[in-house]
Structure 1
Amino acid sequence: MDSTITFLEKRLKDPLPGIASHKRFMHPGRSMDIPADLRSSAVLILLYPHENEIYFPLILRPKYDGKHGGQMALPGGKTEPSDENVIRTALREAQEEIGIRAMDVQILGQLTEVYIPISNYVVYPVIGFMDYTPQFYPDAREVDKIYTPKLTDLKGETVHRTITIGNQEVDVPGFEIQDTWVWGATALMLGELSDILWP
């Protein structure tokens, strides 16, 4: 377990797979153009030990009329003016949404940023590690449910499903994790993490 964290921290200092990994989880027709007026946000991939395995939390957003309601996600949110950097954004948002102690998180590094056309946000994925199994206290306004998959669940095969985007039926790749399906920007980020750990 310690060797995995050490390897990952070292590997995150090297050039990242980036777009080569992202393409594996992009649906056909996804725009690659990034505008200049985008907004900044960050998410936290929080690794932690439990029963000699490494786990991380995923959250199910409550259903609402917004663009990401009812979707699986990583804890995170938009950058506030008071955030000195995207690492601070990721830690602050994770503390607010799932109740972790941000001060206990060791930052291992960052993955390649992901642009989300539908909301015009660029998301910076931050990877952190806690050396104990945390208690989660979800904010009901932001989180409907917390899932806690193993890191090794990311080794599974890419699973395709047909969903409606706009007025079109689209074949979309993603992960099947703990009886749920992870797709979109979250799958892009977790796919890059998987490619780093198991190239």
Structure 2
Amino acid sequence: MSAIAGDPATELPAWWQPLLTRVGALRPETFGSPTPSARRSAVLILLADGPTGPDVVILQRASTLRDHPGQCAFPGGGVEPTDGGPAGTALREAGEEVGIRADTVQVVGTLPELYLNVSDFRVTPVLAWWRSPHPFGDLDPGEVAQVARLPLADLADPANRLRVRHPSGYVGAAFRLDGMLVWGFTGGILSRLLDLGGWSRTWDTTRVEPLPPGF
């Protein structure tokens, strides 16, 4: 993960500290080999205090979208010239997709840039605290099928963890929770997040299932 943005904020809940400590020790780097045409984008990893502990905002993309239809993802999208950087992109997209108000969010830092060769995007994950959660806005059915706040403790529950095998042969971390199957880029980031924050529990990594049709 790259540098923490600004003051690490002493107001953050105590559960942030292990994550911040490990995040600050990560070296900035780009994963993968982006093409010259790769478009820059950003996603918002939005953590909040939920009824049972910290949770994260995850949406399911509409099945009609051209890129990654039907997949679960963090709010996010392509960088626009007026965004002012990855954090601006992530906040704008979160507002457009699920109605999250930027004034309720505190940006904390960024993960290293990742390259998605399937869609030719260079993605910067933006780590943030939702200090004043509010109901989600009206969803655009053309972009978002559903959105949820998934508790990190439930994501770390071994019963909800597995790996999926894509027809291409790719095998990666996945989570099945609240009717959502989170895999691919988002599943990998969530798995890493649980490790960095100290939330991970031992789970059966030999549990590998084929990716269901439609994904």
Shorter-chain TM-score bucket reads 0.7 to 0.9
1:6 pairs with 2:20: no
Report runs of 4+ in structure 1 exceeding 3 Å deviation. Answer: 16-19, 169-173
* Aligned match of 1:93: 93
- 1:48 is paired with a residue whose SS is strand
Aligned to 2:165: 162
Cα distance in 1 between the residues matched to 2:95 and 2:46: 11
Shift of 1:93: 0.4
Give, as a single letter, the amino acid of the residue that structure 2 aligns with 1:55: D
Q: Which amino acid aligns with 1:159?
A: L
Contact 2:105–2:132, Cα closer than 8 Å, also in 1: no
Deviation of the 1:142 alpha carbon: 1.6
1:111 and 1:189 in contact (8 A); partners too:
no
Q: Is the 8 A contact 1:50 1:133 kept in 2?
A: no
- Aligned CA distance change for structure 1 residues 6 and 134 (closer, same or farther; 3 Å): farther
Q: Secondary structure at the match of 1:133?
A: coil
For 1:190 and 1:133, the matched residues in 2 are separated by 20
Q: How many residues align?
A: 185
Q: Which has the higher contact order (CA 8 A, sep 6+)?
A: 1
CA displacement at 1:78 relative to structure 2: 0.4
Say if 2:107 and 2:127, in contact at 8 Å, map to a contact too.
yes
Instruction: For 1:139, give the aligned amino acid.
Output: D
What's the secondary structure of 1:164's corresponding residue? coil
Contact 1:174 1:184 in 2 (8 A): yes
Q: 1:132 to 1:50 in 2, by over 3 A?
A: farther
Gaps of 5+ in 2: 1-11, 201-215
Contact persistence 2:116–2:123 (CA under 8 A)? yes
Q: Does 1:39 align with 2:50?
A: no
Q: 1:102 corresponds to which residue?
A: 102
Per the TM alignment, residue 17 of structure 1 is displaced from its structure 2 partner at its CA by 9.8
1:92 deviates by 0.5
* TM-score under structure 1 length normalisation: 0.81
Is there any run of 5+ residues in structure 1 with no aligned partner, and where? 23-31
Q: Is the 8 A contact 2:61 2:143 kept in 1?
A: yes
CA RMSD of aligned residues (A): 2.5
SS at match of 1:122: strand
Distance 1:173 1:8 in 2: 20
1:112 aligns with 2:112: yes
